[in-house]
Amino acid sequence: MKLAISSFSNSNRSLSITQTQERIKATLGSATILCAILLATSSHAATRVFYDGAESGNANLWNQVDLRSKCDAVTSSADGIKGPYTGSRMFRCNDDGTLIWSADRYQTMDIPPFSMNNEVLYRVRVRLDQNFDRTSGSPKKIFRIFGSLEHVQNFESTFAGNSGFVWGTYVNNIQSPNYWGWANGDTTMNSSSWHTLEYYYNKTTGNVKVWHDHVLVFEQTFGPITGSVGEDGIVHLTSNFSDDHDATNYIYFDDIEVFTDSANGTPATGSMADASISSSAGSTLSPPVITDIKVN
């Protein structure tokens, strides 16, 4: 874009100054509009590629895991302490320790494959019912992310243990130290409220971050990740529970979100790397595409 300012003589000075000022104003105005559009476009570089708050009353957006039963969409909790995180429904997943093998041994489901280039952030709201058996040997696994299983490339899981939500990961054949729920502000062991779990992966750098209740509880850089980090559709909402437990162990989930650096989802603002990213439910608007700007 060129800004042309014409020379002028004393005889037409007043008119030329006015014309020049108008041209400057027009140019600055167009530049302001262009900057706003560019900023809006960049803020939508990351999108939300999956969302489910159970409001449909079913789990149709999810894939079935083996022959296991999917989780149920319910309107109330068994303990009556908290209902859905938002809206009128939430998912309830049970683990029945009295069954040796059955489709209902434990309920679970997978997030379908999604598009990403390099970065992904998972966000899930979760609460344990008071009927849930907390154990410390091999406790219940929740939100288990697998990748490149033939090489055991990436393996992440949160454990619903008696000290709260414990985190463990295995990436690029590296076993990281487990996080045991000691961070200040991590209240995930409290069944009286909902909790937010967030997981960030950067495949280029191998940077992995985990937040519990918006507190950064784990960060490690493993080097470039060549395998998947769940984008191929192997993200179990729940997984096995090896310790002894009874027939009723409810976990509630709500407002499950996946953000990536793909342009194929719902526009989002904020950063995945610091978990500030968000998307307004139902938002479908994108900034207009402008191919040419002229200043006369």
Q: Rounded distance, CA 107 to CA 142, Å?
A: 11
Query: Which residues are CB-neighbours of 124 under 8 A, at least 6 positions away?
Result: 143, 196, 197, 198, 253, 255, 256, 257
SS3 270: coil
CB-count burial class (<10 Å; 0-12, 13-18, 19+) for 236: buried
Structure tokens at 226: 């060549």
Domain 47-267 fold: Jelly Rolls (2.60.120)
pLDDT, averaged in runs of 10, over the chain (296 residues): 35 44 49 39 71 98 96 98 98 96 94 96 96 88 76 64 79 84 88 95 95 94 90 92 93 98 95 95 36 36
Q: How confident is the model at residue 177, as a pLDDT?
A: 85
Q: How confident is the model at residue 40, as a pLDDT?
A: 37
Q: Which residues of 151-185 are buried (b: 16+ CB within 10 A; e: fewer)?
A: eebbbbbbbbbeebbbbbbbbeeeebeebebebee
SS3 164: strand
Residue type, 112: P
Q: pTM of the prediction?
A: 0.79
Q: How confident is the model at residue 274, as a pLDDT?
A: 97
> Measuring CA to CA, how many Å separate 277 from each of 90, 123, 206?
22, 10, 20
